[in-house]
Amino acid sequence: MKLINITILFLGVLMAGCNTPAPKGNPITEMYPEEQEQIKNIVYDIFEVAKVKDMDSLDSYHLRGPKFTKFDDGDLPQRQDYEMAKTTEEDLFTNVTEFNYQPPDVKVDVLDDVAIASFILDWGATIDENTFSGKSRSSLVFVKEDGRWKIVHEHFSPYIEIKL
């Protein structure tokens, strides 16, 4: 009887050990190259779906809910929540007759389940026969939701070249 109890206890401890997650690396020093590449591809995909006005796909990259925020270099300088940002993007891209950009040199820093993508966006757009162009300093903050990277914060501000 004692042998059965010891065997059951041993198997229980062994099985519990199998459910323990593997230790993660240091999120400050670990590079996470696979996640970096995934996020770079997401950034490039975002601009491609925006270009063809696929608003459902564009929306799918965003974390829906109260933790989403956005600062834009457009007409809305205040912090936007998810609904305001979604409406603003839909209005913008439905009115754009042409949108082009230079694929940005994206730097991605992954900190476990949070990642930051930063880049300079060189863009051009035509709205109502008016052509606009510019550069924006851009940051996208991602979090992992159900195994997928989602944008939780966007920040775009004008890129101003200072000549010394």
Tens digits of residue pLDDT in 8-51: 444 444 444 444 444 467 888 898 999 999 999 999 999 999 99
* pLDDT tens by residue, 55-109: 999 999 999 999 999 999 887 889 999 999 999 999 998 899 999 999 899 999 9
Residue 21 in any domain: the answer is no
Tokens of 124: 């051009």
* Residue 63: its H or E element: none
For 135, the domain range is 32-158
Question: Exposed e or buried b for every residue in 80-99, given b needs 16+ CB within 10 A?
Answer: bebebbbebbeebbeebeeb
* CATH number, domain with residue 75: 3.10.450.50
Count of structural domains, the chain: 1
Question: CA-to-CA distance for 109 and 125, rounded, in angstroms?
Answer: 29
